[in-house]
């Protein structure tokens, strides 16, 4: 009886997850099917994927977007994790203000944000591609902030922090070896959201006149639309595989190494 009740309670959740899965994967499967079409020969093949890989600048731009996204993830974790840990532990009265500030990137137009934020950087940063990770960080702030906030709210943070501090750990060690492993799922969600937004950001990059993988895809799409779809599919699959590998293996190994 209890088992039947449990199954009945989980039924709406299963239906919701199934609908969400169909909503996400049906367009992806359709795009993949379209990208392997060969209209001239008829049927299907890997012609457009091979064309994309053979493009001279394919690996250059995908690596550039990849390391820019990686730098953005590092900036996000270095800034947000200590800051939010302090906000939660100290019960600071400025926390509601910071909560509101973290939502501003959702309402500020990208054009105004790009120009205004860029001129606030030091001159040696303005003239280099390293300005992009800092701007990507601001764009991903609403999502990264909420993800970490959920994780920190779900644990007895003050108790864990006081136990680590009383054992002689400094704040850096407390955050890196105690708090981050405990909220690993929230940290991985933050990494995934930040990485995905950074590697696919187009508008901000174009406004600042930098070339990355999304802008290059737009350029090559003018000559081969099916090839551009193939490139877009690879830009979805490659980050997914990277993030899946990080989620499944790296956190587990790091935790096991501490045991």
Q: What is the pLDDT of residues 181-197, one digit of tens each?
A: 889 888 988 988 898 88
Whether 167 maps to a domain, the answer reads yes
Whether 209 maps to a domain, the answer reads yes
pLDDT of residue 7: 67
Query: In whole angstroms, what is the distance from residue 29 CA to residue 32 CA?
Result: 5
Given a cut of 70, the residues of the chain with pLDDT beneath it are 1-7, 246-259
pLDDT of residue 247: 65
pTM: 0.80
Residue 104 sits in a domain whose CATH number is 1.10.3720.10
Name the residue among 158, 118, 162 with its Cα closest to residue 136. 118
209: containing domain: 57-258
Contacts of 188 (CB under 8 A, 6+ apart): 243, 246, 247, 251
Number of domains observed in the structure of the chain: 1
Whether 30 maps to a domain, the answer reads no
Whether 69 maps to a domain, the answer reads yes
Say how far residue 131 (Cα) sits from the centre of its chain: 18
Query: In whole angstroms, what is the distance from residue 174 CA to residue 194 CA?
Result: 24
Whether 187 maps to a domain, the answer reads yes
Q: What is the DSSP string of 10-73?
A: HHHHHHHHHHHHHHHHHHHHHHHHHHTB-TTT-SB-SHHHHHHHHSTTHHHHHHHHHHHHHHHH
Query: In whole angstroms, what is the distance from residue 10 CA to residue 4 CA?
Result: 10
């Amino acid at each position: 009886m209890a088992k039947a009740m449990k199954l009945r309670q989980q039924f709406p959740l299963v239906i919701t997850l199934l609908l969400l899965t169909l909503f996400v994967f049906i367009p992806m499967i359709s795009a993949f099917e379209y990208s392997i079409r060969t209209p001239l020969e008829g049927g299907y093949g890997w012609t457009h994927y091979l064309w994309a890989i053979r493009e001279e600048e394919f690996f250059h731009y995908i690596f550039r977007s990849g390391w820019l996204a990686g730098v953005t993830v590092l900036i996000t974790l270095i800034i947000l994790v200590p800051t939010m840990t302090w906000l939660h532990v100290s019960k600071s009265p400025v926390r509601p203000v910071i909560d509101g500030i973290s939502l501003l990137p959702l309402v500020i137009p990208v054009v105004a944000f790009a120009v205004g934020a860029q001129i606030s950087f030091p001159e040696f940063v303005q003239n280099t591609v390293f300005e992009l990770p800092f701007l990507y960080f601001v764009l991903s702030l609403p999502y990264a902030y909420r993800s970490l906030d959920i994780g920190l709210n779900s644990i007895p943070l003050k108790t864990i922090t006081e136990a680590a501090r009383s054992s002689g750990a400094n704040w850096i060690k407390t955050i890196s070896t105690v708090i981050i492993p405990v909220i690993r799922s929230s940290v991985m969600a933050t990494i995934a959201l930040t990485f995905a937004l950074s590697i696919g950001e187009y508008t901000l990059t174009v406004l600042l006149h930098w070339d990355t993988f999304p802008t290059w895809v737009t350029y090559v799409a003018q000559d081969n639309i099916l090839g551009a779809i193939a490139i877009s599919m690879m830009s979805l699959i490659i980050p997914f595989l990277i993030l899946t590998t990080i989620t499944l293996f790296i956190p587990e190994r790091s935790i096991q190494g501490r045991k």
